[in-house]
Amino acid sequence: MPSGRASNVSEPAAEVDVAVVGAGAAGIGAARRLIGAGLSVAVLEARGRIGGRAYTVPLRGHPVDLGAHWLHNGPINPLVRLGRARGERLRQAPGERHLIIHGRAATRAERDSSSRAFALSDAAIARAMKGPDRPAASVLPPMGPFGRRVVATEGLVSGRPFDEVSLHDVPDMAYGDNFFIHGGLGAYVSRLGADLPIRLRTPVRAVDWSGQGVRLDTEAGVLRARAVILTVPMLVLQREDVRFTPDLPVPVREAIHGFTQGVYEHVVLHWPDAPFRGPDRLAGLLGEREEPPGLLTRVDDTPFHLFELDLPTASRFDNRDPDAPGRYARAVLAAHFGHRALSRLSVCRSTAWRHDPWSRASWAVVPPGLVSIRDRLKEPVDGRIWFAGEALSRAQWGTVGGAWEEGDRAAKEIASRFA
């Protein structure tokens, strides 16, 4: 079943202890914790579905994630822990990768050279972290023939070119174990939101905290609460689509506006006779003029592949027709494997989260020198306004696990004050 079905959500009241804005992972995590603590809650969601940037759709009979797909950082990811407790079907992501150079499998020496380049990068980052903050790319040493590939990959997974990312914000490599979940990550998040008091198609337009508690203006009327948890993505808050009366304190506004847009988009391919063996392998395709920024092959052992676009690549398709990313993916793969290998390849979807009015980015990125902004937003405003969501997580930013953790943190703080 696609995530986003909300037939099982119940209607919230007009006055509650805590209002939660946004029914993505952070909002769902927060609401579950608050309800568990005995507080009354209303979750207000702008879209007509729940899950936010975790969203699974059925394509040709298979659940396919259009947003988040990986459960990263297994040892510290709360959704891995919760999934195990619920008996969800989790699988560890394979460590091996395909490496194809000029359309042929890389030699052992080439694979070793590639692994060395990634290891050099990790070691240099770990060392430099102890010094002052600066652009992450600036601390990388010469890494040999695969150096350019390493820098591009770091930029892809960061959401921006690596010289625009804070060195001090690069995640700790120690928690590398990743997992997949049967039926898709969006569907899992959606299951966790079942039975919560969520009001769909209810964008919050204004938060008034001039009197007692908070008053939220929505397109469907007014909601009053003692406190609010805002899980609205940072790039949406930057556009000031949600007005605050009085204005938020300057340090909070500065923190919100400090983030930059992280871009990571999927082109979903159905490619039954793709030349890759084994499910769920990342593939590096090198040696031609255009190289896919990222490629996840045979997703869940199906014919689906996720061709990933980084910011520089995705930007080339801004203001172009929606089929342009798919044509690009096809042209790149044809350059590596020849047109005949693509005769049964079809492009199913390409995402544009960076243009979606309720996300405006795949995640929020911290530029060099601004690493404190994540923590600054954890301080509640006047004991009434909490922020949560992936952007606040230091260890797991840009992830569903980090979003959940932050929703849970804000809810715990409120529960300890209000219960």
Site for ligand FAD, residues 100 to 139, rule: CB under 6 A: none
- CB of residue 139 vs ligand FAD: minimum separation in angstroms? 25
Could you tell me if 355 and 365 are in contact, meaning their C-beta atoms sit under 8 angstroms apart?
Answer: no
Could you tell me if 133 and 168 are in contact, meaning their C-beta atoms sit under 8 angstroms apart?
Answer: yes
Site for ligand FAD, residues 56 to 95, rule: CB under 6 A: 67-70, 72
- CB of residue 216 vs ligand FAD: minimum separation in angstroms? 9
Within 8 A by CB and 6+ apart from 167, the residues are 125, 128, 129, 133, 134, 135, 136, 138, 139, 368
Query: Is residue 3 at the binding interface for ligand FAD, with CB under 6 A as the rule?
Result: no
Query: Is residue 160 at the binding interface for ligand FAD, with CB under 6 A as the rule?
Result: no
- CB of residue 120 vs ligand FAD: minimum separation in angstroms? 25
The CB density around residue 247, as the number of other CB atoms within 10 Å, is 9
Query: Is residue 54 at the binding interface for ligand FAD, with CB under 6 A as the rule?
Result: yes
| Helix (H) / strand (E) containing 334 | helix 324-337
Structure tokens at 91: 């699988």
Please choose, from the candidates 219, 232, 231, the residue with its C-alpha nearest in 3D space to the C-alpha of residue 30: 231
Query: Is residue 198 at the binding interface for ligand FAD, with CB under 6 A as the rule?
Result: no
| Residue nearer to ligand FAD on the CB measure, 205 or 344 | 205
Residue by residue, DSSP assigns 382-419 as TTTEEE-SGGG-SSSTTSHHHHHHHHHHHHHHHHHHH-
Query: Is residue 214 at the binding interface for ligand FAD, with CB under 6 A as the rule?
Result: no
Within 8 A by CB and 6+ apart from 266, the residues are 65, 66, 306, 307, 308, 309, 349, 350, 351
Which residues does residue 365 pair with via DSSP β-bridges, in sequence order? 260
| Residue nearer to ligand FAD on the CB measure, 46 or 223 | 46
Query: Is residue 242 at the binding interface for ligand FAD, with CB under 6 A as the rule?
Result: yes
Query: Is residue 362 at the binding interface for ligand FAD, with CB under 6 A as the rule?
Result: yes
Please give the Cα distance from 232 to 227 (Å, whole number). Answer: 15
Query: Applying CB under 6 A, what is the total number of residues that bind ligand FAD?
Result: 43
| Residue nearer to ligand FAD on the CB measure, 110 or 241 | 241
Query: Is residue 25 at the binding interface for ligand FAD, with CB under 6 A as the rule?
Result: yes
Query: Is residue 337 at the binding interface for ligand FAD, with CB under 6 A as the rule?
Result: no
- CB of residue 113 vs ligand FAD: minimum separation in angstroms? 27
Query: Is residue 23 at the binding interface for ligand FAD, with CB under 6 A as the rule?
Result: yes
Query: Is residue 390 at the binding interface for ligand FAD, with CB under 6 A as the rule?
Result: yes
Strands (E), 7-61: 15-21, 41-44, 56-59
| Residue nearer to ligand FAD on the CB measure, 185 or 285 | 185
Within 8 A by CB and 6+ apart from 76, the residues are 175, 395, 396, 401
Taking CA atoms, 304 is separated from 49, 269, 345, in Å, by 24, 6, 10
- CB of residue 343 vs ligand FAD: minimum separation in angstroms? 28
| Residue nearer to ligand FAD on the CB measure, 49 or 101 | 49
Taking CA atoms, 14 is separated from 20, 22, 38, 137, 414, in Å, by 13, 17, 17, 50, 19
Which range binds ligand FAD by CB under 6 A, 12-20, 45-53, 106-114, 165-173? 45-53
Among 268, 389, 409, 415, binds ligand FAD (CB under 6 A): 389
Which range binds ligand FAD by CB under 6 A, 40-48, 81-89, 193-201, 270-278? 40-48
Among 6, 18, 41, 44, binds ligand FAD (CB under 6 A): 44
Q: How does strand 104-105 pair with strand 97-101?
A: antiparallel
| Residue nearer to ligand FAD on the CB measure, 70 or 146 | 70
Query: Is residue 31 at the binding interface for ligand FAD, with CB under 6 A as the rule?
Result: no
Residues lying near ligand FAD in the complex (CB under 6 A): 21-27, 44-47, 52-54, 67-70, 72, 203-204, 231-233, 236, 241-242, 264-266, 351, 353, 358-359, 362-363, 389-390, 398-401, 403
